[in-house]
Amino acid sequence: MLMLGIESSCDETAASVVAEVDDPSRPWQIRSNVVASQVEIHREWGGVVPELASRQHIRDICGVVERALSDARVTLGDIGAVAVTEGPGLVGSLLVGLSFAKSLAVSLEVPLVPVHHLAGHIESLFLEHGPLPLPAVVLVVSGGHTSLYEVPTPGVYHLIGRTRDDAAGEAYDKVAKLLGLGYPGGPAIDRVAREGNDRAIDFPIARMTHRDRNEPDRPGRLDFSFSGIKTSVLRYVRQAAGRRPQDTGSETSLSRQEIADICASFQRAVVEALLDRTFEAASRIGARSVGIAGGVSANSRLRADSQARGAHMGLPVFAPPLALSTDNAAMIAAAGLRRFHMGVRAGWDLNADASLRL
């Protein structure tokens, strides 16, 4: 069985062919994984411009799918089913991949399987590592989301914590912009932080220890908050630069070393907050493994520190390889295979859902 995965939720147009093989330790094999990134288009604007993104998806989708087929050395007739990201994401972007996948499935007379983008990130771990020891706690940390899931059995995801405001990746992107490091901010801060002192500045991170009055059923202690640290970086930069506040200013008069210290200190605070909750969740539910997925899982400190904490607690920690950390369609095809075997099929009236919940 060959699954064609299609992903277009944000600023990457992606297609991938994943095969199901008869090997219980590694049941899914990536035959191709093509990603057309729009980062050069959006860099000029300092972030993703939704209208430009959807237009570029339209330009790229045919070529990306053709390339995924040719890289896998298959033709459309070999495809057994099509999996597509249904949401969440930018609605105009989602609609391009979804409409394309739907048309393809109708014309090939094969099933169409709808996939939640974050389920794709979670399944990237199973795609790379095979079955994880369950139950697992998986931290999904990306530009739009920072969520903790319990995975008790394959294909089942229980939300046990989430950010109350900004996503961690969003905080990286905003702080990078403030420091004039460009877009996307995550990789830039990761790089510059290597030259900095991570104890130079004590940026506070909110600890959500109280119950959330809006959601009284859920204890709040596993939730995240990243808007406060972004503001304290802003305040620090204004003070250090000794200038009048500038709301959107990205030019700073800070020295290279000061910027590196800010990046390293910011990164330490964010990574500690992410891992404190993740490992607390793991001990609460008696997890047998920990997974870290999504764009920010590419972060070198998050990877190193999570391994160290896992070793300390005797828990195996899994992260996807870099190509499967940021948005891609192989993870969508993998999640699609999982859902296909659970009997999930989309009707031909499937619509994109920008704020789909998992």
Residues forming the site for ligand KG4 (CB under 6 A): 10, 142-144, 169, 172-173, 184-187, 190, 294-296, 298-299, 326-327
Residue 190 near which of Zn ion, ligand KG4, none (CB within 5-8 Å, type-dependent): ligand KG4
| Residue 120 interaction partner, one of ligand KG4, Zn ion, none, beta carbon < 5-8 Å per kind | none
At 140, give phi and psi (nearest 5°): -105, 115
Residue 172's binding partner among ligand KG4, Zn ion, none (Cβ under 5 to 8 angstroms by kind) is ligand KG4
Is 86 a binder of Zn ion (CB under 5 A)? Answer: no
Question: What's phi and psi for 226, nearest 5 deg?
Answer: -120, 5
- Work out how close the CB of 141 gets to ligand KG4 at its nearest, in angstroms, rounded to a whole number: 8
Phi and psi at 147, nearest 5°, equal: -140, 150
Residue 5 binding result from ligand KG4, Zn ion, none, given CB thresholds of 5 to 8 Å by partner type = none
- Asked whether position 85 contacts Zn ion by CB under 5 A, the answer is no
Integer angstrom CA distances of residue 163 from 46, 174, 226, 316? 23, 16, 8, 24
DSSP string covering 171-215 = HHHHHHHHTT--SSHHHHHHHHHTTS-TTSS--------SPPTTS
296 binds, among Zn ion, ligand KG4, none (CB under 5 to 8 A by kind): ligand KG4
**Least distance CB 327 / Zn ion (angstroms):** 4
Nearer of residues 68 and 332 to ligand KG4, judged by Cβ:
332
What amino acid occupies position 174? Answer: K
Q: Does 142 bind Zn ion (CB under 5 A)?
A: yes
**Nearer Cβ to Zn ion, position 142 or 297?**
142
How far apart CA 33 and CA 116 sit, in angstroms, is: 18
Q: How far is residue 272's CA from residue 264's CA, in Å, rounded to a whole number?
A: 12
Q: Which does 184 bind (CB under 5 to 8 A by kind): Zn ion, ligand KG4, none?
A: ligand KG4
Least CB distance from residue 130 to ligand KG4, whole Å? 22
To ligand KG4, the closest distance from the beta carbon of 147 in angstroms equals 11
Beta-carbon contacts of 93 under 8 Å, excluding residues fewer than 6 positions away, are: 8, 9, 10, 11, 50, 53, 54, 57
Q: Which is nearer to Zn ion, 38 or 142 (CB)?
A: 142
Minimum gap (Å) between residue 178 Cβ and Zn ion: 23
Is the CB of 8 or the CB of 142 nearer to ligand KG4?
142
Distance CA 113, CA 343 (A): 9
The order of strands in the sheet holding 146-151 is 158-162, 146-151, 136-141, 289-293, 317-318
Residue 173 is a binding residue for Zn ion (CB under 5 A) = no
Closest approach of Zn ion to the CB of residue 142, in Å: 4
Of 3 and 192, the one with the shorter C-beta distance to ligand KG4 is 192
CB of 132 to ligand KG4, least distance (A): 19
Closer to ligand KG4 at the Cβ: 112 or 296?
296
Give the nearer residue to Zn ion in terms of CB position, either 27 or 88.
88
Euclidean distance between CA atoms 211 and 249, whole angstroms: 36
Nearer to ligand KG4, 123 or 190 (CB): 190
Q: Is the Cβ–Cβ distance between 201 and 262 less than 8 Å?
A: yes
Evaluate whether 269 touches 296 at the Cβ level (below 8 Å): no
Q: Which of 11, 258, 261, 327 binds Zn ion (CB under 5 A)?
A: 327
Residue nearest to Zn ion (CB): 142
Rounded Cα gap, residues 282 and 8, in angstroms: 32
**For ligand KG4, the closer CB: 91 or 108:** 91
One-letter amino acid for residue 232 of the chain:
S
With CB under 5 A as the rule, give the number of residues binding Zn ion.
Answer: 2
Could you give the CA distance from residue 160 to residue 251 in angstroms, rounded to a whole number?
Answer: 39
Angle between helix axes 330-341 and 117-129 (nearest 10 degrees) is 90
Under the rule (CB under 5 A), what is the footprint of Zn ion?
Answer: 142, 327
